[in-house]
Chain A
Amino acid sequence: MNRLYRILTSSLLGAAVFAFWMWLFPQDLSYQEQNQLFLFTWDYLGQRLALPGGPADWLSEFLVQFFYSRTAGALIMALLAILLQRLVWRAAKTSSKRDERSLYVLSFIPSLLMLVYQGDVEVLLSYPVALILAVALCPAMTGARWNRLWLIPLGWWLTGPVILVPILLSCIRSRRWEDLIILFYTGLVFFAGYRLLAAQYPARDAFFGLNYYRLVESLPVLQIVIPAITLLTIWLCGLEIRLSRPLVPGIVTFIALALGTFASVRMTYDKDTHETLAYDWLIRHERYADVITRAEKYQPHNPVSACSVNFCLFMNGQLDARLTEFYQCGTEGLVLPSIRDNLSDITSGELLWMMGMPNLTLQYFFDVQESIQNGRKSGRFLSRIAECNIVNGWYDRAEKYLDILSQSLFYRKWARSRKAMIQDESLVAADPVYAYIRSVRFQDDFVTFYDGLDLMMAILYNQNKNNFMAAQYYTVWQRLKQTEAGQ
């Protein structure tokens, strides 16, 4: 198995993974990026390092911020896939001087499994990053013997529970009596570390990984299966099997793996979820026509998709004319009520902002941000929250948000420009977006709630006849209401 062959196949993996994220599922990258806000501050680093697996988490968040750019995101995902595969192969190398291993193709399995697992958009990048770090520790752990006493707590702090991969590998390889002590010691480290660093988390979360998955109270099976298979793969790849013609079975296995991955991705990637995410990603980049084009081919039947497509129809001047061509679910498909998740209300928040309801936008975006279950903030949502405060003239609060955003990489420039703007009221008044929203917003202060949203649209239009959006949405709202009543 020559070096060129390995480089070529690793590169092929990288190219495939790059293409996968770049052209097939770029919306997933955007979703990951908008559910965290990496800050270049010591406090931020300190918060992450305070937990087991925190360094891997910090590193992954550092990487995910680059998902702001689709190309950079796809490139990072490709590099991580290659890195995991290369490290698995490296970890499989035993102390034997003769390197006669032919099961090279199996080293691709963890990377491909990871790709399948990432079809679940709530899988955090810290999981593959932690696994990569753990696999990277395999050679050190294998030869460490009693040095494992300090390597294990360090590794657990660095990566979290996936550190079991190198620990178990070292025990399998050495098979000495001391390994029993090491395993017992590992249990002690996990328990003591939990009480010391993660006492404010359920024990199950601490033992299965605090930062591997966004949703709380969830433990996907693959989160346990992948490290186990990685361990198995390392062991298999380490077997000194010398095939006389390794190329043919290698290619066959390679094709089988590719087909298996393709089939698994088809099975695990939920089409509706990814389509809904795609709408959100396209709307974020103001590619409204692309949403309509996608919806013409396939549209998920859920209120979020209806709301997104209707909004894009409006932005393209087609809402009234083409309403019935797309999936509708009553007035909820125009503007969603407040829903406690980190995706559903984004489009509703955006359209309420354009319509002249900054307070409702503020509520929606605040709640969307607070609905990120692992407690992270969002550059995208925080930016809109800051803007709502600017429109309301609440500059002290806006400044707080802008200063936080200034500590990030991709929102810094925007935040600084806005901070300069709020120092001078005339600049805010001259900004076309803020000036427009101020001109169309409610002139009176009254309490409102979702059930009265159509009346609010009518009020907006009556107080400013230039508010075409309010008029159009009001009209369509009545149409949908009548349709609902007719049903």
Chain B
Amino acid sequence: MKRWFTLLAATVLLAACSGKTTLVDDLPAIYPDYIGVTIPAGIAPLNFNLPEEYTRVYVRVSGSLGGEIRSRGRLASFPIRKWHRLTRQNAGGTLHFTVLGRKDGVWTQWRDFILYVSDLPLEDYGVTYRKIAPGYTTYSTIGIYQRDIHTFREEPIIESTLTPGQCMNCHTANATDPSQFLFHLRGGHGATLIQQDGHREWVTTKTDSTLGNVAYCNWHPGGRWFAGSINPVRQCFWTGDQRTIEVFDLASDLVIMDMQDHSLIVDPRLTTKDHLESSPAFTPDGKTLYFCQAKAYEVPRYVDSIRYDLMRVPFNPETGALGEIETVIPASQDSLSISFPRPSYDGRWLMYNQADFGVFPISHKEADLWLMDLSTGETRPLDEVNSPFSESFHNWSSSSRWFLFSSRREDGLYVQVYIASIDENGHCTKPFVLPQKNPRKLYHGTLYSYNAPDFTKSRVDFDTHGVYREVFSDERIQATVKP
């Protein structure tokens, strides 16, 4: 009865809207492209826009397993509770979208489309990311934010206004658990902030024996260690009309920090002058450390000759001892370069980035995501999620059944966060961009990239009170080198 009433109401509405509705045998040009994507139940509503010339939108969403919601207005915007109820009711099923748009007083109805609601839950609280202008050598405001992926709530963890003159590196939690996280603050008062169970400390990880402070870090699952690469980053610029900037390391080394006594393991094999090491990542069992290594060249002159291989080394979580280094993928032999290996937290997969050269895939249009099956060693490009533009900075959800990554597919420059699921066979679904209340207004109107995203299992609790004083007091715990 209810369904009949709804259909009747929709028909009356349509009849009232216009005497004539043009039917088009095409899919609507909705923004963002949510057609055919797979979403988790309980995600924030996938609001979308029609092209600007359509001043009114009418959308009816019906679930294959029941339920229906509608939206009408300037954009398709769904109430959060009703959306959650509909998606939970249809987990494992599909949502069927009927879209009408009005332009110049005439309504157009396009071909209906569907999206899939996965039966794989995504129970993490949200995502964290850094918002930064995708520029060159300078930034004005920069901040690390957290976003509840079940609603549209975004809040700052820390913004550069609180620590003027200091640049922030990526926020790194331990396997999405925000009770242990770190990020490095660069600048005159730079330090690595490490917060564990609400207690924070500021550590200087640069020692007399190392190149500088750690930049790209990854926690050991046990929480005692984290590996970090030291990257004195520089930029140079391209002259053509295909790309603008090249980011490279003048040198780079890899160290492991023991949080028990703030001492660094400096292995001479990972701190050689003729090689560059970067992007460390522990496996979930904590017994292996993946990283990338390349032969060093004179930069920026031969910047396009620097190509990283995927390496791994056994790690003893009790002593911090490193075993024999092994080349896993000799990408440089194929004139390719690997960066950002990320083992899934269930130990099944390893996702990494592959580009023509370099270690900063975000500025490489050809950079794509690849997947390695850790049980067989087989690798393949993730064609289901890759685009002609750069994909990079991927991370896994705590369940390892969802992953996110940043992509420049929108306009070639501004980075957005995409989420996709992966099944037990390694097949991925079409990704969807992080939903927004008014997607075009936000994504098209922003001058910031959503950089270095990661899932967070629960809300990050970070009290900014006292941060300014702590940063500018320069009271630091000085890391030492393990003998």
A: which residues have CB within 8 A of B?
Answer: 41, 43, 195, 199-203, 205, 216-217, 338, 340, 357, 359-360, 362-363, 366-367, 369-377, 391-394, 396-397, 399-400, 403-404, 441-442, 444-449, 456
Contacts and interface: CB of A to CB of B under 8 A. Distances in A.
Contacts of A400: 411, 414, 444-445
B236 A377 contact: no
A359 B138 contact: no
Nearest to A442: B239
Interface string B294-317: 000000110110000000000000
Given A363-B237, A392-B241, A371 B447 contact: no
Contacts of A392: 241
B44 interface: no
A200 B162 contact: yes
Tell me what chain B mostly uses at the interface: helix, strand, loop, or mixed: loop
27 contacts: A43-B445, A200-B156, A200-B161, A201-B162, A338-B137, A340-B137, A359-B244, A362-B244, A363-B245, A366-B135, A367-B135, A367-B138, A370-B139, A375-B141, A375-B161, A394-B412, A394-B413, A396-B412, A400-B414, A442-B240, A444-B239, A446-B238, A446-B240, A447-B238, A447-B239, A447-B246, A447-B303
What are the 8 tightest A-B residue pairs by CB atom distance, in nearest-first order? A445-B240, A396-B411, A216-B164, A375-B141, A442-B239, A202-B468, A392-B241, A200-B159
A422 to B, nearest CB: 12
Given A216-B165, A377-B447, A371 B240 contact: no
B237 A447 contact: yes
A203 to B, nearest CB: 7
A202 B162 CA distance: 5
B410 interface: yes
B237 A449 contact: yes
B151 to A, nearest CB: 18
Contact of B133 (A203, A370, A396, A441): A370
A147 to B, nearest CB: 32
A441 B238 CA distance: 12
Interface in B207-242: 236-242
A216 B141 CA distance: 11
A362 B240 CA distance: 12
A217 B236 contact: no
Contacts of B410: 396
Given A200-B158, A447-B246, A359 B238 contact: yes
B244 A217 contact: no
B411 A199 contact: no
Contact of A403 (B159, B164, B243, B444): B444
A367 B246 CA distance: 16
A444 B240 contact: yes
Contacts, number: 123
Interface residues of B, number: 43
Interface of B: 133, 135-141, 143, 156, 158-159, 161-162, 164-165, 236-246, 300-301, 303-304, 410-414, 441, 444-445, 447, 464-465, 468
Contact of A199 (B236, B238, B464): B464
Contacts of A448: 236-239
Contacts of A442: 239-240
A36 to B, nearest CB: 12
Contacts of B243: 445
Contact of B140 (A372, A399, A444, A445): A372
B362 to A, nearest CB: 15
A205 B238 CA distance: 40
Contact of A447 (B165, B236, B445, B447): B236
A38 B237 CA distance: 31
Contacts of B135: 366-367, 370
A362 B134 CA distance: 12
Contacts of B468: 202-203
Q: Which of A200, A357, A391, A444 has the most CB of B within 10 A?
A: A200
Contacts of A403: 444-445
B416 to A, nearest CB: 12
A200 B239 contact: no
Contact of B138 (A43, A370, A391, A441): A370
Nearest to B244: A359
B215 to A, nearest CB: 20
B138 A217 contact: no
B300 A449 contact: yes
Nearest to A360: B237
B140 A357 contact: no
A222 B138 CA distance: 30
Given A367-B136, A371-B140, 8 more contacts: A41-B445, A362-B244, A370-B138, A374-B140, A441-B239, A444-B239, A446-B240, A447-B304
A360 B444 CA distance: 24
B239 A357 contact: yes
A451 to B, nearest CB: 10
A380 to B, nearest CB: 15
A445 B246 CA distance: 12
Nearest to A395: B411
Nearest to A341: B138
B366 to A, nearest CB: 14
B239 A445 contact: yes
B239 A363 contact: no
A375 B140 contact: yes
Contacts of A447: 236-239, 246, 300-301, 303-304
